[in-house]
Amino acid sequence: MKRLAVLASGSGTNLQAILDAAADPAYPAAVVLVLSDKPGSGALSRAEAAGVPTEVVTWDEHGGDRRAFTKAVVETLRSHGVELVVLAGFMRILSEEAIHAFPNAILNTHPALLPSFKGAHACEDALEAGVKISGVTVHVVDVEVDAGPIVAQAPVEVRDDDTPESLQERIKAVEHDLFPKVIAEWARAEWEVVGGRTRRRGRVPI
C-alpha cells in the first residue's frame, strides 16, 4: 500500500475521484495527505470531509520564491511519509528539488493531449487552435513543465459550440476515470521509465 499525497489548488473533483477509488480496500494506495496552495479551496473541504489530513503551503508565504516554496512542499510531504505524489489541478510549478526528492514518483493530469497545449490554459489554447480532438494526458512530472514521460492519454471530442469551461468539464469526466486507474497502476509498479518514455514492465520493445 503506497502512501499517496494529492496536491490540488482548485475544486478538487479529481481529488474526489481518487478518494472514491481509494475507498476500495483493494486499491494499492492510501491518500495520507492533501496539500493545497490555496486556503479554502474545494480540494481541502473534500479532504476534510473524507477525514484525510490536510496541509496548506502558500506561494506568498515563501515570497513567490519557487525553490523555497518547493522546499516547504517537499518537507511537508516527507513529514507525512509520502511515497507517491499526484498533481490534481495543482496550479504551481515545482522546482527540480521536488523531482529529485520523488524521482519518477510524481504524476500529473493535464487537460490536453500533450505535447500539444502545455501550460495553464490548455482548453482555451485548444479551442483557439481549432482542433477537433483534445483530451487528457497523465504523465510523470519532470524538470521541464508538462514534458515528462507520458503514461496514458484519452481523447475528448471538441464541439463547435464549446467554451473553455464546457470542454474542461468533459475533459474532467474522462480524467475522473483515467487518473485513479493510472495512479493504481503506477502504485503497483506496473510501469517503468526507460530512456525518457514509459513502458509496461516486462514488455520488450520491438
Which spans of this chain sit near ligand GAR (rule: CB under 6 A)?
8, 10-14, 88-89, 109-111, 120, 122, 168, 171-172, 175
121 a catalytic residue = no
The residue at minimum Cβ distance from ligand GAR is 89
Catalytic residue among 62, 110, 121, 176: 110
Between 45 and 199, whose beta carbon lies closer to ligand GAR?
45
Find cell 468533459 and name the residue: 170
Find cell 505524489 and name the residue: 85
Between 101 and 113, whose beta carbon lies closer to ligand GAR?
113
Q: Are 15 and 87 a contacting pair, CB within 8 Å?
A: no
Q: Which CA distances in Å does 54 have to 8, 134, 137, 138, 169?
A: 11, 33, 26, 24, 26
CB of 172 to ligand GAR, least distance (A): 5
CB of 12 to ligand GAR, least distance (A): 5
Between 75 and 96, whose beta carbon lies closer to ligand GAR?
96
Cβ neighbourhood burial of 72 (10 Å; 0-12, 13-18, 19+): middle
Catalytic machinery residues: 110
